[in-house]
Amino acid sequence: MVQKIALEEHFLAPGYEGYWRSTVGNVAPELASDLLARLTDFGEMRLKSMDEAGIARSVLAIAGPGVQSERDVATATRAARAANDYLAGEVQKRPDRYSGFAHLAMQDARGAADELERCIRELKFCGAMVNGHTNGQYLDHPSLYAFWERAEALSAPIYIHPTDPVAPSPALEGVAGLRRATWEWGFETGSHALRLVFSGHFDRFPGAKVMLGHLGETLPFLLWRFDSRAKLYGIKLAKAPSDYIKQNIMVTTSGMCSAEPLNCALAALGSERVMFAADYPFESAPEAGEFLDHAPLTESLRTNIAFNNAARYLGLNASC
């Protein structure tokens, strides 16, 4: 069993259940109750799951959407700060096993930038997890440039996590099984990342670091086509779209226990840009760990995916 750092591992702070409940309305009540128990546990259940998976360290983040669905900016700002302080307290209890991603009120770009800096410098977090759009505003919006300037200056990775789309796609109407995690969230989150690429965001912020789960939300599979269609439609960028994806985006294995997409991500992005995640408690950490332990990889590559890439990219050997 290879030692692992897990990067998409969720929790809930006090007062956050209401935000989270909106994402599990179509989940059986008993399953939702079990998930809530695991999200609010930092002890036996979580650590047992980590041990069974070979996870030495989990980087914890609020289960979305969190305050990004809050309409009152002041409330969102206070609640985000409280959640970060709460997580920092839990990390301090087990600094050998837990690290943190900041939760941010993206409704206020400068406020989010200040909170990100506080979380990096004072709380020793490793970056931030942003749960998709914020009340319909995506991360390429010009009003958020001040946030990206600070994130770039801090060299802080921003993990874009799925959320519900602004409006359900008519193409999925009447087929409930395709909603949310099955297909809808992947399309939504992949599209969010592509907005950053095609809008010229990475030309403005060449040092920006973005992370995606689920082995890149299908982006690695489509690199050639992105480049081809950008030429066709006359998209003016300093580089080909695939270059930004390869240079500014890292991906994790969260929710993807299959060799085929893993091999695609490795071939498309390079072995140094793929990292491990379990997506606890929404996926089985032991299953994710067992998959990586037995995937047909060289041992050096397995170790890099499991531990070394994350340690280097998030500075986990130093402050976290």
What is the per-residue pLDDT across 42-64, written as a single tens digit (0 to 9) for each?
A: 999 999 999 999 999 999 999 99
Give the global pTM.
Answer: 0.97
What value does the mean pLDDT take over residues 309-320? 80
What value does the mean pLDDT take over residues 63-75? 97
Instruction: Judge whether residue 219 has pLDDT over 90.
Output: yes
274 strand-pairing partners: 251
**What structural domains and CATH numbers belong to the chain?**
4-313 (3.20.20.140)
What value does the mean pLDDT take over residues 153-170? 96
- C-alpha distance from residue 185 to each of 96, 166, 317 (Å): 32, 11, 32
Instruction: Judge whether residue 148 has pLDDT over 80.
Output: yes
The catalytic residue positions are 279
- pLDDT category, 297, cuts 50, 70, 90? very high
What value does the mean pLDDT take over residues 183-203? 97
- pLDDT category, 317, cuts 50, 70, 90? low
| Integer Rg of the chain from CA | 18
Cα of 58 vs its chain's centroid, Å:
13
Q: How many CA atoms lie within 13 A of 162 on its CB side?
A: 22
- The better pLDDT of the pair 319, 16 is held by 16
pLDDT > 70 in the chain, percent:
99
Peptide bond into 206 cis (omega under 30): no
First-to-last alpha carbon distance for the chain, in angstroms, is 23
Average pLDDT of every residue of the chain: 96
Q: Tokens 């939504």 appear where? A: 188
- pLDDT category, 22, cuts 50, 70, 90? confident
Looking at residue 307, what DSSP letter applies?
I
Write down the pLDDT at residue 291: 98
CB atoms within 10 A of CB 97: 17
Write down the pLDDT at residue 100: 98
- C-alpha distance from residue 79 to each of 19, 67, 105, 299 (Å): 11, 7, 8, 43
- C-alpha distance from residue 311 to each of 84, 97, 204 (Å): 21, 13, 27
Write down the pLDDT at residue 319: 42
- pLDDT category, 23, cuts 50, 70, 90? confident
